[in-house]
Amino acid sequence: MNTMTSAKTNDSTRRWLWIPSCILTIGTFLFWRLLYPHALTYHEQFQLFLWDDDYFMGRMAEPGGLARWVAECLVQFYNNVTVGAIIIALLYLLIQIFVALLIKRNVATLPSSCQWTTFLVWSFLPVLALGYLMGDENTMLTFPVSLLMALVAMWAYTYTRAWWNQRFVFPIIMSVALYWIAGPVVLMLSVFMSIFPLGKQWLRVEGQKSESEAWSVEREAIRVKSEKRKVKNAIRLNRFTFHTSRSTFNFSPLTFYSSRFLLHALFCIALGIVLILFSARILPFTTARLFRGIDYYRYPLLMPYLMMAVMALCVFVPLLPTALRHWSAKASQRFSLASATLLILCALVLSPKAYDTKTYELIRYDYLVRTQQWGKVIEWAEKHHPDLPMSVCATNLALAQTNQLGERAFQFFQKGSEGLLPHFERSFMSPLITSEAYFHLGLVNSAQRLTFECMEAIPNYNKSVRAMKRLAETNLINGQYAVAQKYLDILKKTTFYSKWAKQTETLIGNEQAINNHPLYGEKRRSHLQEDFLFSETELDKMMGKLFLQNPENSLAMQYLMLYPLLDKDIHKFMQYMNVIQQKQTYMPTLAQQGVAIAYMQQRQQPPQGLLSDIILQQCNDFSQTLSLGSKDSPTLDRFKGTLWYYLVK
C-alpha cells in the first residue's frame, strides 16, 4: 500500500516537473524581449553570417568552428528581437534539461531510495550562472552552444556500456570530435569522463551493489593480455576481494580499482589537454586562446572566471547526488528546498549586477540611433541624463534630427563640442554613433572611415553586417560602384539584408536614380567639393563648409551654431551666426541667448527685433542674479537649461 502511495506521489511530482523549466524559459524570453532587446541587435550587428560554403568551411577550419557557425547562424535571427529572445530561452532550457538528464543518469547508479527529482533544482544552477555571464555583452552565443554540445556528449557517455568503449574508444573519438566542433569545452567532457565511472565504481566498492557484481568486474579485469600483468592483477584482485567482503570497506587510491580508474581519469584529462596543446602547434592560434575558446568571448585575450565556473558547474552539479548519497530522502528534500530558495534569491539579487547599466544604456542609444528612433532617444535621455560622449552625441543628434538642438541642447548634460562629434577612439562601439552623426551631416567619407574602423576594431576579427550595409551606401553615394557592388554581393548572402541588397543593387551606376533618392541624393548634394584633410580640431570649419555647400543642410547649420557655444566661444559663435544669417533665418532660443550675452559682454544693445523680449528679460535677470551671488549660487538654478547657466558653470 505504502509503495503504491509513494508511486502515486512520484507520478504527481513528475507531472509538475516541467513547471520550473517553463518558468525559466518564459522568464528568459521576457527578460531579453522586454528589457534588453537592444542587446540582441548589438550582437547581431557585429557579425556577418553568410549562407556560403566558404564561410562554413572557414569556420570549420578552427576548433569550436561548428559551435561558432551554429551560434552565428542563430545570432543573425536576433535581427528580429522576438525570435532572438526565443532562441536564448530555448538554449537555456536545453542546457537545463541536459544537466537534469545527467543528474538522472547519475542518480540511476545510486541506491533506490534516492529520487533524481530531489536534485532537479540543482539543474538550474549552471543555467542561472550562465544567465549572469550572458549579462557581459562580450560573452558570445558560441559559449552556450558549445556548452550544450558538451552536455550532450557527456550524456551520451553515460550510455556507454562496454569497458573498452567507456575507457578508450568513446573518450578518444568523442574528445577529438567535440574539441573540433565545440572547442575547449572538451575539458568538461574530459573531467566528466574521468569522474563519472569513478563514482559508479566507488559505490560498487562500498558494497552497496551485490557481491556478484563486484566479481563480474573482477572477471573483467582478469582479461588482461599480458601474462605478467595477469599475475600482478591476480595478486591485487585477491587483495581487493578481501576488502570487498567487508561492508565497511573504505575506498583507497592504492587498491586495484582505484589505480585503474585513476589511470583512466588521468588519461581522459590528459586527452583533452593534449588535444588543445597539439592543435596549438599546427594552428595559427596561441595556446592560451585555444584554451579560452576562439569565440567564447569577444576579446580573445580574456576569459571571465565565471565562464570557467559555468563549465565546472555543468560537470559537477550532475555528480552532486553521489556526494549526498548517504543523506536520507527527507534531508535531501530539505536541502533541495533550501537550495531552490537560495538560487531564487541569488538570481534576484545578483542579476541586476550582471547587466552593467552604463554599458547597456550606450547599447540602447546605439540601437535607437541605428533605427533612427529620434523621439525615443530624447525620451530616454530625459529620463536617464546621458553624460558619456557617446550618449551625449546620440542625444544631440536626435535633437538636431528633430530640429530641437537650438532650443533644448542645454537641457541635457553638455561638456564641450566633443558632445557633438566625439573624438575617434579605437573601439568597435563608440565610433558607431559618431559615424551615424557624420553620415546624417553629409560627411560621407568620415562616416565611411569610422564605419570601417569600427568593423576592423571588432576584437574577434568578425566583420559587421551593419557596417557592411553602411559601407555599401557610402560607396554608392561616392560613386564607387564596384566597391558598393562587392558589398552588396556579400549582403545578398545574408538572411535579413539580402532583399535590401537586391533592391539597392538596382541603383548601381544609375546616377539619376541616386541623385533623386531621398537619402542618397541628399547626401550627394552635401558633398564637399574642395579637397582637404579631415581634422578633428577643426570640425566647426567643416560644419561651416557643409552648410555653405548646402544651406538646406539643417543638421550642419544646427551643429555650426552650437559648436562654439559648447566651447564657450561667444566671439566665434557671432561669426558663425553671421554666416548662418546670410543663408537662413535661423534664430532658435539658444542662439538668441548667445547673441544676448555677446551684446551684453560688449555693453551694447542688440538691434531692435533681433531678440525676443522674453530672452532679453531673462538675460537681464540672469545678469542681475549672477552679480548678486557667485556662479555657484543656488539662485542661478532657475536658469538651468539656458546657455548662460552652461557658460558660468
Partner 1 sequence: MKLYILAISTILCISCSNAPENVQKMDDVPHIFPDYIGVTIPVGIAPLNFSVEGNDVERVDVTVTGSNGEPLHTNGKTAQFDIDDWHQLLEQNKGSKLNVTVSAKENGKWKQYKDFTISVSSLPLDEWGLTYRRIAPGYEVYSHIGLYQRDLSNFNEHTIIDNTQVPGACYNCHTANRTNPEQMVFHVRGENGATVMQINGKREILKASNETLGGSMVYPYWHPSGEYCAFSTNTTRQSFHVVPDERIEVFDLASDILVYHPKTHAILSDTLISRPDWSENTPVFSPDGKTLYFMTCKQQDYPQHFKDEKYNLCKISFDPATGQFGNHVDTVFNAISMGKSLTWPRPSYDGKYLLFTLMDYGYFSIWHQESEQWLMDLSTGESRNLSEINSDAADSYHNWSANSHWIVFTSRRDDGLYTRLYLSSIDKNGRFSKPFLLPQKNPKEYYSETLYSFNTPDFTSTRVSFDSHLAAQEILSPHRVETKVR
For the bound state, the minimum distance from the C-beta of residue 544 to partner 1, rounded and expressed in Å, comes to: 13
Number of CB atoms found within 10 A of residue 387's CB: 14
Q: Are 417 and 563 spatial neighbours (Cβ–Cβ below 8 Å)?
A: yes
Encode 351-367: b = buried (16+ Cβ within 10 Å), e = exposed. eeeebeeebbbbbbbbb
By beta-carbon proximity to partner 1, the closer residue of 262 and 528 is 528
The single-letter code of the amino acid at 52 is D
Q: Minimum Å distance from CB 512 to partner 1?
A: 17
Q: Which residues pair with 297 in a beta bridge?
A: 139
Q: How far is the CB of 455 from partner 1 (least distance, A)?
A: 8
Cβ contacts of 162 within 8 Å, gap of 6 or more: none
Q: Provide the minimum distance between the beta carbon of 300 and partner 1 in the complex, in angstroms, as a whole number.
A: 6
CB closer to partner 1 out of 61 and 263: 61
Interface residues with partner 1 (CB under 8 A)? Answer: 52, 54, 280-281, 284-286, 289, 300-301, 424, 426, 443-446, 449, 452-453, 455-458, 461, 463, 477-480, 482-483, 485-486, 489-490, 527-535, 542
Closer to partner 1 by Cβ: residue 96 or 464: 464
Cβ contact 73:84 at 8 Å: no
Least distance (Å) between residue 420 CB and partner 1: 17
Would the CA dihedral through 570, 572, 573, 579 be positive or negative? positive
The CB-based long-range contact list for 411-417 (8 Å cut-off, 24+ gap) reads: 411/640, 411/641, 412/381, 412/385, 412/386, 413/385, 413/386, 413/387, 414/566, 414/646, 415/387, 416/566, 416/567, 417/539, 417/540, 417/563, 417/564, 417/566, 417/567
Nearer to partner 1, 213 or 538 (CB): 538
Instruction: Name the minimum Å distance from CB 490 to partner 1.
Output: 6
User: Closest CB to partner 1 among 356 and 505?
Assistant: 505
Tell the smallest beta-carbon distance from residue 48 to partner 1 (Å): 9
Gyration radius of the chain over CA positions: 33
Q: Which is nearer to partner 1, 386 or 431 (CB)?
A: 431
**Of residues 322, 536, 553, the one with CA closest to residue 434:** 536
**Closest to partner 1 by CB, 448 or 593:** 448
Per DSSP, 97 falls in state H
Instruction: Kindly tell me which of 531 and 632 has the beta carbon lying closer to partner 1.
Output: 531
Q: In terms of CB distance, is 373 or 549 closer to partner 1?
A: 549
CB of 554 to partner 1, least distance (A): 20
Listed residue (101, 92, 89, 88) closest to 152, CA to CA: 101
Q: 390: how many CB neighbours lie within 10 A of its CB? A: 24
Q: What is the DSSP letter of 409?
A: G
Q: How far is the CB of 477 from partner 1 (least distance, A)?
A: 8
End-to-end alpha-carbon separation of the chain, Å?
83
The CB-of-363 to partner 1 minimum distance in angstroms stands at: 20
Q: What angle do CA 98, 102, 106 make, to 5 degrees?
A: 170
**Looking at beta carbons only, is 397 or 455 nearer to partner 1?**
455
493 to each of 11, 55, 508, how far by Cα in Å? 50, 10, 18
Angle value at C-alpha 237, between 232 and 243, nearest 5 degrees: 140
